[in-house]
Structure 1
Amino acid sequence: MSISHMNELSKQGEDDVDPKERQGLVEEQLLGIEEEEEDVTLSSSLSSYSSILSDSPEEVAAAVASSPPQGPESACPSLTAGQAILLSQPQKECPGNEDEEGKNTREDPEDAESSQKEALRLKMVDLVVFLVVKYRKKQPTTKSEMLSHVIKEHQDHFPEIFGQASRCLRLLFGIEVKEVEPSNDIYFLGTTLGLTYDGGHCLPKTGLLVTILCLILLEGDCAPEEEVWKSLNVMGLYDGREHCIYGEPRELITRVWVREQYVVYRQVANSDPARYEFLWGPRAHAETSRLKVLEYLLNLKSKNPLSEEAQGKEEEEA
């Protein structure tokens, strides 16, 4: 069954498709992907947490943290974010005056391409910051607003920038960008899978919570602690080491989320030495479902870096 077929089933709603049958179809599709590509695992997919930002999630974290949670509507955080990132990067030594040496000052094509990619990457970071501010203020946004405030001179690359920013928001922060009025290109931002927890601070932490719930589900609803940490290590998260977005992960996972009833952390029966495992907590069961998580995983495993929405708009414009 193709992904497009699965998307059609999803759009039909639970009234038209039996939930158990729908869940079975999603599981079948996930298994099909894994059979075609043996190396496709959740761990490899989650490596996108770092690779999507050239191994520098700190850039987005610093940019979001430096942006004001409240401010005038006309204020665009992208300028501050871009400047902060540029200042945090090592500056290249300025070459000598090529005119004086009689050298050709034209830019090398490879350098021009590299500069273009870096400019688009910075615009992606700027757009992430802009959308996180919108999320904090519970305000919708529009395509025209994103173009005028953030994208500016790179408007031809909007589908690429928007697609990457949407993926970054989903993976790092657990924020979904949803088009609520397609005719007017109006978007609203909410938490992934309908979860109500976001950390309550500057940087939303729902992205990691979704990851933990996915890992538990894929381990048969009961994930050994050692397997969870193997996957988190792929993302650059280590026991006892502060992370730029999530803080100290063990504290967050085994205490905060246990207290919030999203996760159950318990000792494996009769284990000596003691081993521990994770299960979904009652709040996770109340706010989301296995089906939603499986569909999320199916979307995560898609190779296309652009969101379906951005891809469709690009095809229409072409």
Structure 2
Amino acid sequence: MTQRKRLSNTQSSTQNREEDDDTTFTQPSTSQVQRGLEKVTPAQVDQKTAEVVQYFLVKDQKKMPVRRADIVKHVVKEYRNIYPEIMKRAAHTFDQVFGLKLVEIDAKSHTYILINKLETTDGASPINSPANPKMGLLFVILSVIFMKEGVVKENVIWNTLKKLRVDPGKKHEDFGDVKKVVTDEFVRQRYLEYVRIPHTEPVEHEFRWGQRAEIEVSKARILEFMGELHGLEPQSWSQQYREAHPASNTQPGTSSQR
């Protein structure tokens, strides 16, 4: 219980500190950017853009979101007065060279992630790759949350994983410390939200989908997976089907089943 309280307090203080860091930077206006570009060479802008692209790619290897404050502090530095131009060029590079899309997932803290445009376009999910066991674990957790209407107490997740022979209390050969992966790594990557439930003693937490999951993960694919698992049509879960297929809400047979 004490450890969980510390975790909750640490997450809160870290978030507050991150928000405070960003108050030192004000987004330059168009005219400020233009004046700034007049003071640097095209080669300098290209070099700084390349550094930002590299910074994102390194962070993306571990699916870590990137905050504006960190980009400015660690990469852009003295070029902060042309930050918008650098980011625009970096986004163009990701799009044209890597097939990636730069997405702001949190407008308040100005936090960005990279998503694969091809996977998003054809409806596939990067989480479905069998080559990455952690992503398979994440897909199972997100599936449970989605099927439980968006929020699940943590004991439900732990019990589900135990049924799959992944004991959160034991070190796993693929995942290592399972609880740390789920409550720390997946949370920092913004795939999951791990929220303390108010007025619970002992302290309880619940899981929700994170901002990255909302962008990257196909709810329709989850329903297909559940249908295959249970030998049912995806429409058997009417509420989830409507959420996964909003354009199909008016079709016959999609709203009468329970």
- TM-score class, shorter-chain normalisation, is 0.3 to 0.5
Higher RCO, 1 vs 2 (CA within 8 Å, ≥6 residues apart): 1
TM-score (norm 1): 0.32
TM-score (norm 2): 0.39
